[in-house]
Structures are given as C-alpha cells and as structure tokens.
Amino acid sequence: MSDVDTHCPYCALQCGTRLSGGRADTVRVRPSDFPVNRGRLCQKGWTAPEVLSAVDRLTRPLVRGPDGRLVEASWDTALDVVADGLREIRARHGPDAVAVFGGGGLTNEKAYLLGKFARLALGTSQIDYNGRFCMSSAAAAGTAAFGVDRGLPFPVTDLRGARTVLLAGANIAETMPPLMQHLEQARLIVVDPRRSATARRAALHLQPAPGTDLALALGLVHIAIVEGLVDQSYVDERCHGFAAAARRAMAWWPERVEGTTGVPASAQRQAVRMLAESRDSYILTGRGVEQHSKGADTVSGFINLALALGLPGRTGSGYGCLTGQGNGQGGREHGQKADQLPGYRSITDPAARAHVASVWGVAPEDLPGPGRGAYELLDALGTPQGPRALLVFGSNPAVSAPRAAHVTERLAALDLLVVADFVPSETAAMAHVVLPVTQWAEEEGTMTNLEGRVLRRRQALSPPPGVRGDLRVLRDLAVRLGEPASRYPSAPREVFDELRAASRGGKADYSGISYQRLDAGEALHWPCPDTRHPGTPRLFLDRFAHPDGKARFWEVDHREAAEETSPEFPLHATTGRVLAHYQSGAQTRRVAELVEAVGAPFVEVHPDTAARSGLLDGGRALITSARGAMTAQVRLDATMRLDTVFVPFHFPGDGRANLVTNPALDPRSGMPEFKVCAVRIAPTQE
C-alpha cells in the first residue's frame, strides 16, 4: 500500500496523519505537517492503528437468540430482523416509537444520511446524538451572541500570535496536546477547579469551586467596567445589549465573587488586566464551563467578557470554543440533532424545511418536527410515551450518558435495540442486533474540525470481510422499509454532493466545497457558498451573523448548581478526561499502551479530605451520590480543592463516573450537569 494522507480518528483537532502498511496489523502512522499539529501527535494518535486489529473486532452481524445470547447471522438475516421489528413497532405505536442516536465521530456523510434516514425512512422526530453532551451549551451561547456557531471562528494557527489566552474549563495539555505548541508564546490564564496539566503551565490559575464559573465570569466583566478596560467604541459600534449585561455584572464585585468561587479578588483583577493589556488576547471555553445545568449562560458570561474587551471579530484576538469530538462541528451541522436540518438550519423554520424537502424530493409537511434532546430521549426509552426501538450509530450511551444506571435500565426496556459499531461496546453488548461497520482507516468521507475546516478522510485499507459501511447499512434498511434505493446513496462522494445542495444558503453552507477541491489540497472553511469561493477561515471580521451585523451581549446571572452539597453528600464531584483515553474508552481501552498508562478508574482527592474519610493512597474508594455509586482507586493530590474530588469518565462497569452524575439539564441547550454533583466518599468494604 502506498502512503495515505488522512486524519486522526479522535479529537476535533483532526491532526494530519500519514498511514502506511497493507493490513490492519501492519498499519503504521506518522504525523504530517498539517497546520493544527505541525508534525506532532498525542499518545492516542500514535497508537490509533492498534484499534484496527483489535482482537474482538466485530466482523459478523450478531442477533440475540431465544436463549438470550448474541449469535452470528448473515447480513440479510440481521437486516430483516431489524426491518421487521421497526415495521411492527411503528405499526403498533406510531413513527415516534422508533428513535435514532448518533455520534460526533461520524463523518459528515454519515451524520447527514442518518438524519435523512430518521426523518424519511422512519418518519420519526426522535433523533439526537452524543454531541448534545459535548458542545450544545457553547453552540447555544455562540448562536445567541454571534448569530452562528462555529467552534473557532479563526484558524488554530492564529493563536501563535496571542499574547494572553484565557482557557475556561479546558485542559488541552491532556485532551489536545498538539494544540499546546500554538500557545507557547502566550501567557495562559486557566480557569479550572483542578490544578490540571494545563493549569500547571499557566501564568495564572483561577481555581473556582465547581459550579461557580458563571459568578467568576460576571466578576471579570465587573472589573473590566470598573477599571475602565471596556472597549467602548467597539461595544457601541459592533454590539447590542451591553447595558443590561453590565447591570447584572455590577452586582458581582470581586469580594462577592471571591466568597462564592474561592478565587481571590486580586487574582480576578490580574486576569482582566492581563487580557486587556493588549489586543492580542483570546478567550477559549471548553467542557468544564459548558457541562452544567447553566452551561449556556456560563459560556455567555465569558463571551460577554470577550465582547466587553473588544476581542471577537478582530485579527489577532477573539473568542472560540474548543470542540471536543472528532466531527463534533460537522456532526451537529447536518441533521442528527433533534432541532436541526442540514446546513445548520432550524427544523421549525418553514423556509429551511422547504429547501431541504425540495432536495430530498418530498413535501415540507412530510418532515417531522423537533424531537427530544439526547438525555430526554434516553430517559424516555421503553416508557409508554417513549420510543420502543433505538438505533445507535457511533455512540456508547451505556457509559457516556449521565445517571448511567438509569439509562442502562431504559436501554434494557426496549423492544428493539440495534447498535452499529466496530467493537463490542458496553451498549452493543445489550443490543438485540449488532451490525459490524467500518473504522476510520477503512472508509472515505469528510470531517469538519474545530476551525470549521472541512477535511478528507481517506481509505487506507480494506475492511475485514463481512464488514459494511454505515451508508450502505442505512440504504439497505431504508429499502427494506419501502424507500427507493436512489434516495439513499451509499457512495460517500454522492452523499456529500447531496449534502452540499441541502446546505446551500444555510449558516453552514458547504455548497462550494467538493471532493475535487479538497483532494487538490485547498483549505476550505465553511461557509463556502460557491465553487469559486475561497472559504471563510475567519468569521466576523466585517460583521457578525445577525441580520444587522452586530453581536449580542446576553443578560445572565449566576445561580447555584442543580445539586448542592449537604451533610449526607458533603463533597463536589467533577468529571473529565485523561491523556491516555478518549470519550467512553471503547476504542482506547483496547490499546495496550494506553491501558498500561491508565488501566482503571481513579479518584483524585486532597490528602486532608482523604484522611477525614479514612482513605489511603492507592486504596479503593466508594463514591456515592443520590443516583448511585462508583468505585475507584484513590490518588492523593495536594493541589485539589478540599471540597472537590475528580473522576475520569472513560471506564465501564462499577467504575463508570456517570453512575453518580446529575442529569439536570440546561434549559437553553439540553446539556446535562456532568461537571458537578454532590457526593460522599468512603473506603470500600472489600
């Protein structure tokens, strides 16, 4: 096999890689000089090929037999079982009794066709995806402020010129290590309740109590106003709503913020002054401030700070959100969210419905309306008013969803659970039918990274015999459900061309992007409205995406987390990622080097907190919330807050961090409160 240029299968940096080797067990990877990684990879990227030859790789469809065991079956048998089950459930309970759950790692083509399949072949409104757990708060806040949501409205390489960067809830030294090279010249201000690997490199670490980030953001805006650091001409010329947002912020003076967050008033003032000293400043948010029941408001608070300082829409400064999943950006743009149609169109907009319906060859009234968001969808499974069947593509909600034991119960209550995957994930193990599909190096397609840059995923090797692509699976199911085969192309290039037409005129307009242009090496960021357009690497330089061209301050105020500590549950628990693993760990837990690095769940605890709880370093702990309990190995860390423990969420079984997390939802985004819940901790009784 000649070398193939493609991209890493993990995070939204989508680092450029070059693959060589003709078989799954001989594929080797080396980094390419792609702008976001510039010849570097993280530990996950270097070891990514090992998953291609995982010993438990799925290569034959599995159907659960009368004895309850999953047994191998032919593709025809498996697809017939699925189609027959879907038809029966729809006939008995209606189209919304069937649901679809997608993933932020699916290619643009898969995400697009999955949404089309759900709304036409199934006729259901019940489709959402795991990106609801990742980027939805920042998407809601970005759309409200700027009129459009794109993770970074500028190229990653612009950060190399930054003098100061505030990272709010983003531990990129572990989650996106190649990104750190772009920040080597910047003074970092890190907002994180932990002294993370990123915080250890910071010039200033602000360590708020979990759930208080919004109070901190309000306090920083307050300081900017009082100290005369607001860029008033920018605010007057390019924004609306400053007065109302300022009134809210003026109630949060530094000492009040210190009492709420624990961040010293002096450190708050230092942070604002560092950002305001020059215009070469950026504010970047991540999951740490988003995964809350007030996550959208919290992101809005940090956007308000950026607008007050005059950062967005200027060369050399700005605000951005660090998208997490590999196609977290493209995955939410093209139709697998409950409320969206391709091109980032609202499903309730009559003009949007008419445009997409015309591309699909149906009447606008044939398209269902908005459905449930991700957690609400999972929570309703198997109930009298909820879906009786679920098709899962590219996700593992048995591990990744909040209140995981409850979600597992809901999955078990289904009449039909179908999972398309390439390894037997914890969700696949519960399925009635498992469909083996291709991995990243075995398929063609496109991805959209955190900069809104559309990239080519290229096939480096053939999939194992018996494995099919997701696009073909969707077509074959659609045909069995009575749809014309021509409506569901299975060639990625054909699907992308249809996606281009469906997105034309939308906020995320891909109509000018083609495989031909991408293969010729053009760097194309959306929006790209025609084939002569160069793409838009930098948004907002002339105007924001609201009709009047102006950005909006959003009036927000701090409120407590949905669940406060108590004598029964006296500690905050917060969750996150570690360098060696990704998402639910279904892929990375199959890589020997990564398992050797971190092979089991752990809990970080301050030594004094551990002593009060009777815990020993290296011992086993039981972490209990109002929803359930998990077990983990104790790691003492003197930099932890006394009131906080940290657990990673990559592990299955009784080590699932999401056994304890709170499903309280953000009213603006539907984001669950992953980042803070009340717990107690004690030695296990083993």
pLDDT of 22 reads 82
3-state secondary structure of 351: helix
pLDDT of 278 reads 83
Tokens of 487: 């409506």
pLDDT of 324 reads 83
3-state secondary structure of 318: strand
- Average of per-residue pLDDT across 200-215: 98
Integer CA distances (angstroms), 627 to 321, 493, 649, in order: 31, 46, 16
The secondary structure of 74-102, three-state, reads CHHHHHHHHHHHHHHHHHHHCHHHEEEEE
pLDDT at residue 1 is higher than 90: no
pLDDT at residue 135 is higher than 90: no
- Label residue 686 by pLDDT band (50, 70, 90): low
Tokens of 121: 């072949």
Residue of 168, 189, 206, 187 whose CA lies nearest to 303: 168
Per-residue pLDDT tens digits for 469-504: 999 999 999 999 999 999 999 999 999 999 999 999
Report percent pLDDT > 70 for the chain. 100
Give the up-direction half-sphere exposure of residue 486: CA atoms within 13 A in the CB hemisphere.
Answer: 3
| Dihedral pair phi/psi, residue 653, rounded to 5° | 60, -140
3-state secondary structure of 46: helix
CATH for 136-322 (3.40.50.12780, 3.90.920.10, 3.30.60.50, 3.40.228.10)? 3.40.228.10
CATH number of 571-683: 2.40.40.20
Average pLDDT of every residue of the chain: 97
CATH number of 62-133+328-443+464-490: 3.40.50.740
Per-residue pLDDT tens digits for 558-589: 999 999 999 999 999 999 999 999 999 999 99
- Contact partners, residue 4, CB within 8 Å, separation at least 6: 18, 19, 20, 458, 459, 460
pLDDT of 184 reads 95
Amino acid at 594: L
| Strand bridging mode 389-393 / 164-168 | unpaired
- Label residue 55 by pLDDT band (50, 70, 90): very high
Residue of 454, 590, 595, 426 whose CA lies nearest to 24: 590
**DSSP labels, 52-67:** GG-TT---S-EEE-TT
Report percent pLDDT > 90 for the chain. 98
Same fold, 4-53 and 136-322: no
Per-residue pLDDT tens digits for 614-631: 999 999 999 999 999 999
N-terminal to C-terminal alpha carbon distance within the chain: 52
Integer CA distances (angstroms), 4 to 20, 29, 460, in order: 7, 10, 6
- Average of per-residue pLDDT across 353-364: 98
Per-residue pLDDT tens digits for 257-304: 999 999 999 999 999 999 999 879 999 999 999 999 999 999 999 999
d(CA 286, CA 299): 9
- Average of per-residue pLDDT across 644-662: 97
CATH number of 4-53: 2.20.25.90
pLDDT of 59 reads 98
- Average of per-residue pLDDT across 131-156: 95
d(CA 437, CA 657): 28
Per-residue pLDDT tens digits for 163-177: 999 999 999 999 999
pLDDT at residue 2 is higher than 90: no
Residue of 227, 231, 257, 254 whose CA lies nearest to 242: 231
Residue spans per domain, the chain: 4-53, 62-133+328-443+464-490, 136-322, 571-683
- Average of per-residue pLDDT across 362-390: 97
Dihedral angle of Cα 497, 498, 504, 509, to the nearest 10 degrees: -60
Amino acid at 79: L
Residue of 630, 577, 633 whose CA lies nearest to 600: 633
What DSSP character marks residue 267? Answer: H
Per-residue pLDDT tens digits for 668-684: 999 999 999 999 999 99
What DSSP character marks residue 335? Answer: T
